[in-house]
Amino acid sequence: MLNSIGLQNPGVEYFMQYDLPWLKNQNVAVIVNACGSTIEDYVELCKILNKADIDGVELNLSCPNVKAGCLAFGTTYEGVKEVTSQVRKVLDKPLIVKLTPNVTDITLPAKGAEDAGADAVSLINTLLGMSININTRKPYLANNTGGLSGPAVKPVAVRMVYQVSQAVNIPILGMGGIINGDDAIEFMLAGASAVSIGAGNFIDPYTSVNTVKGIEEYMKNNNIDKIEDIVGKVQMN
C-alpha cells in the first residue's frame, strides 16, 4: 500500500474526552502515537498526555506521508536525541520512539533514542515511495510521494530490526509487512521483543488474531515455553 493520507485527527483534547474512555473499557493497553511539526509541538503534546490515563507514548519521528515536519527529526542521531530528550523531561510514562527507514544507517537514530532515555524503539515506519500514472504522466498521489507499507517492505524491516538489535540495549517493537505468525517469528528472531500489524489489517481484519495463533502453533511445534527464548536468536551464516 502506498499512502499519503496525512495525520489529520480531532486533536488530543478530543481524544482524551471521547476516545480514551472507550479504549479504557476494552481491557487493553493504550499507547498513544504522538506527532508534531516542531520540537515544541512534541513537548506540549506529551505534557498533556503525561496527565492522561494511558500506558505509554509512541513518539512518531518519521512520517513520509506528509509534506514537512517530523520526518526531519528522525533522520539523524542528533535530531532524534534532541526531540526525545526534550520529551523525556516532561513525560514520566513509558516512551517508545518510532524510527524512519529512510536513512543511510538505521542504528544511529536508534542510538539517539536510547541515549536520550527512550524505553524502546519501534521500526520500521513506511518506506518513501512513488507511483506514476503513465497516461497523465503525473504521480498518482497528490503529495507526489508517500509511505509504502505491507508485505513488500518486510525484508527491509527485518534487516533493520536485526541491525538495531545489535546496536541498542532497549526493547524493539518490530513492524513492516507482518501478516501471519511466521512473519512475526521472523521479526522476533531478528531481535524484536514484540510486533505490530498495520497494513495487514486492511487485507484481513483477523490478521492480528490469526498471527497470535500462528505464534502459538510455532511455539508448540518447537517446544518453546517462553517467547523470550526466540528473541534475537537468529543464527547468522
pLDDT digits over 123-147, tens only?
A: 999 999 999 999 999 999 998 999 9
- Where is average pLDDT lowest: 77-81, 152-156, 232-236? 77-81
pLDDT digits over 213-228, tens only?
A: 999 999 999 999 999 9
35, 46, 63, 70: which one is catalytic?
Answer: 63
Q: Is the dihedral of CA 11, 7, 153, 150 positive or negative?
A: positive
Query: d(Cα 211, Cα 197) in Å, to the nearest integer?
Result: 9
Global pTM value: 0.93
Q: What pLDDT, on a 0 to 100 scale, did the predictor assign at position 65?
A: 40
Mean pLDDT of the chain: 93
Give the contacts of 132 (CB within 8 A, at least 6 positions apart): 138, 139, 140
One-letter identity of residue 193: S
Residue 63 annotated as catalytic: yes
pLDDT digits over 21-68, tens only?
A: 999 999 999 999 998 888 888 999 999 999 999 999 999 986 544 444
Domain ranges of the chain: 2-229
Task: For the domain made up of 2-229, give the CATH fold.
Answer: TIM Barrel (3.20.20)
Identify the helix (H) or strand (E) that includes residue 173.
strand 172-175
Give the contacts of 51 (CB within 8 A, at least 6 positions apart): none
- List the end-to-end C-alpha distance of the chain, in Å, as a whole number: 32
CA 119-123-129 angle, to 5 degrees, is 150
